[in-house]
Amino acid sequence: MTQRERFLETLLFGKPDRIPLQPGGARESTRENWHQQGLPGNVEDYNAYAYRQAGGKLELPTGGPGFPVRHTMMPEFDEKVLEEHEESRTVQDWKGNVCEIGKEFSVEYLRNAKDFCTRRWIKCPVENREDWASMQTRYDAEDPSRLPEDAEERAETLRERTWPIQINVHGPFWQLREWLGFENLCIYFYDQPALVDDMLTFWKNYIARLLERASEYVIPDCIRIQEDMAYKNYSMISPAMVREKLLPVWCEWGDVVRKMDVPVYAVDSDGYVGELIPIWIEAGINACDPLEVAAGNDIVAYRERFGQKMAFRGGIDKRAMAAGGGVLEQELQRLKPVIDGGGYIPSCDHAVPPDVSWPNYVQYVKRLAQLTGWL
């Protein structure tokens, strides 16, 4: 099977020859630790190296070019340091947020998820109707530069691809939170519902149009919504509010996804998503990640509850990876029925943290490779 066929067969509950081996992604601090623990400094693909260290002999697929769709703001705000303090600095990021970060971080950490960067929010870019009117000018779905400059040539290359491609877009909750800030968004749902509805309608139409433009060149294998809308125990807004405000957006995008004939319509949210999965299923979403175990997500229970209506990616407790040994083995055995049952690409339930040692990571990759058919 090709990499693409394997990806689709797995998430669509088919019969893959092997399940994709996707152990996880490590942040900068994790990789720095690993280089002190046995990972050579010149190794770029640490997952492939761990697989070889674990005794893996098969050729791992490396993928190929995608079809990037730039849905974020254009033009961006200037990234700059506004004020220096004794142990911190006040900065403006590319999205127009003003926040305070530690001196060990640069503004770049707010652009790329290089590592875990704690911040204190001071000001968000949209505070009133005037700010919102100005913000809309940064999102022109017809701007040619939102699609690849070589779109036609790239489309020709991708037509017979053997690897899956995915288009990621910010979901309505994620995007409104970036404009308003989390606290203001929650307040505005009640105090300024007309403004919130205006923003939701704008974002719904904007993303739908971008996806339609992309479909003129290529049909991706997955369209994935980035939401991050749950705490450890509950969703950030009530299921009733989710159903009222966000479900219509997801449903309309779902219509676009089905019209494009995209097989996987996915969503990403940290935190406990047990309240959200039934609503996502209503919207036509058929895959989700990363299923953080520490937040109470249990894909074994979810599989019993939702059957083949929802596929999963992630779901392996990072704390068990850090512990290694019997704790890790117990965690993987817990998940084995779901792995064997299909509709699941097992992986770390978020970014791999620095308390996961390199020897434990190699052990983890070895057992994961055995369970997914690569060893």
CATH of the domain at 334: 3.20.20.210
User: Are residues 101 and 222 both part of a single domain?
Assistant: no
User: Are residues 169 and 220 both part of a single domain?
Assistant: yes
User: Are residues 174 and 280 both part of a single domain?
Assistant: yes
Residue with tokens 């797995």: 10
Please report how many Cα atoms fall inside a 13 Å half-sphere around the Cα of residue 274, on the Cβ side. Answer: 17
User: Are residues 82 and 202 both part of a single domain?
Assistant: no
For position 105, what pLDDT does the model report?
A: 86
Q: In this structure, what token pair is assigned to residue 316? A: 């392996």
pLDDT one digit per residue (tens) for the chain, 375 residues:
999 999 999 999 999 999 999 999 998 899 999 999 999 999 999 999 999 999 999 999 999 999 999 999 999 999 999 999 999 999 999 999 999 999 888 888 888 766 677 889 999 999 999 999 999 999 999 999 999 999 999 999 999 999 999 999 999 999 999 999 999 999 999 999 999 999 999 999 999 999 999 999 999 999 999 999 999 999 999 999 999 999 999 999 999 999 999 999 999 999 999 999 999 999 999 999 999 999 999 999 999 999 999 999 999 999 999 999 999 999 999 999 999 999 999 999 999 999 999 999 999 999 999 999 999
CB 99 within 8 A of CB 91: yes
Chosen domain end from 124, 154, 189: 124
User: Are residues 357 and 211 both part of a single domain?
Assistant: yes
Chosen domain end from 62, 95, 124: 124
Distance CA 181, CA 122 (A): 10
Distance CA 124, CA 138 (A): 15
User: Are residues 93 and 204 both part of a single domain?
Assistant: no
User: Are residues 176 and 136 both part of a single domain?
Assistant: yes
For position 47, what pLDDT does the model report?
A: 98
User: Are residues 218 and 292 both part of a single domain?
Assistant: yes
Which residue range(s) make up the domain with 315? 3-72+126-372
User: Are residues 130 and 116 both part of a single domain?
Assistant: no
Strand partners, 287: 266, 311
User: Number of folded domains in the chain?
Assistant: 2
User: Are residues 310 and 238 both part of a single domain?
Assistant: yes
Please give the helix or strand (H or E) that residue 315 lies within, else none: strand 311-316
Residue with tokens 């998820």: 113
User: Are residues 117 and 143 both part of a single domain?
Assistant: no
User: Are residues 364 and 296 both part of a single domain?
Assistant: yes
For position 106, what pLDDT does the model report?
A: 82
CB 97 within 8 A of CB 169: no
What are the φ and ψ backbone dihedral angles of 149, each rounded to 5 degrees? -60, -30
